Amino acid sequence: MAGRARTTTAASALRRRPQLSEDVAGHVRHLVMSGEVSPGDYIRLDETAAELGVSVTPVREALLTLRGEGMVELVPHRGYVVSELTPADIVDIFWLQGRIAVELVRRAAPKIGESEIAELRQFNASLAAAVANGKAEEVEINEFEFHRVINRLAEASKLAWFLNNATRYTPTRLYASDPEWGRAAVRNHEQLIEALDAGDVDAACTLMRKQFTDGAERLIAYRDM
């Protein structure tokens, strides 16, 4: 995977759109989940604001949000410190994501026709090309669009909303910059498409679950490096 040095991707993205506290929260979540900051490290308001090119206000609001999520703790008179994140925590996060994603694919499978299969193949081909060319941003986009096809067909807006919120804790840029993960994702998608095309719902659910199990294992291994 990519090195531990903080990337400028998030900062660049922030400068291209309104400076909202949720954008800052997403940036800090990535730092915590990827291990770019460690438990006990302080998240300084001024430093974070300068790094992202925003005012202190959205940073303060973001840290309040993250405190509520248990990602950071407030130390009186000292500021916000990164909370502990154990391997068990990571397994739990990905378990929840996987359970929801499996239910969505289970509901979507009977509704998938030729046009949806073609759409999935197209996004997976674009994903493969992005992985081969090292274009991390395109990897993120095509991975998202691939799963969006399935989630949309499930017609379960509340479940899709919960999954979207749960995946906020996935450091997507970390995976997108890892060619090994990218190639594994493409292979998994190919098998998933074949299962859906054959109407094999159980196989599709197993493959979907595998993506999240693999994601948890990779993140734990990366953070241990």
pLDDT digits (tens, 9 = 90+) for 20-31: 799 999 999 999
Q: How confident is the model at residue 19 (pLDDT cuts 50, 70, 90)?
A: low
pLDDT of residue 17: 47
- 1.10.3720.10, 1.10.10.10, 1.20.58.340, 3.40.50.1980: CATH of 9-82: 1.10.10.10
Bridge partners for 72 per DSSP = 82
CB contact at 8 A, 196 and 117: yes
Structure tokens at 6: 């903080």
Q: How confident is the model at residue 48 (pLDDT cuts 50, 70, 90)?
A: very high
Mean of pLDDT values over 18-47: 91
CATH 3.30.1950.10 at 87-223, yes or no: no
Distance between CA atoms of residues 125 and 114, nearest Å: 16
CB contact at 8 A, 145 and 89: no
pLDDT of residue 219: 97
pLDDT of residue 10: 52
Q: 């993506």: which residue's tokens?
A: 211
pLDDT digits (tens, 9 = 90+) for 157-200: 999 999 999 999 999 999 999 999 999 999 999 999 999 999 99
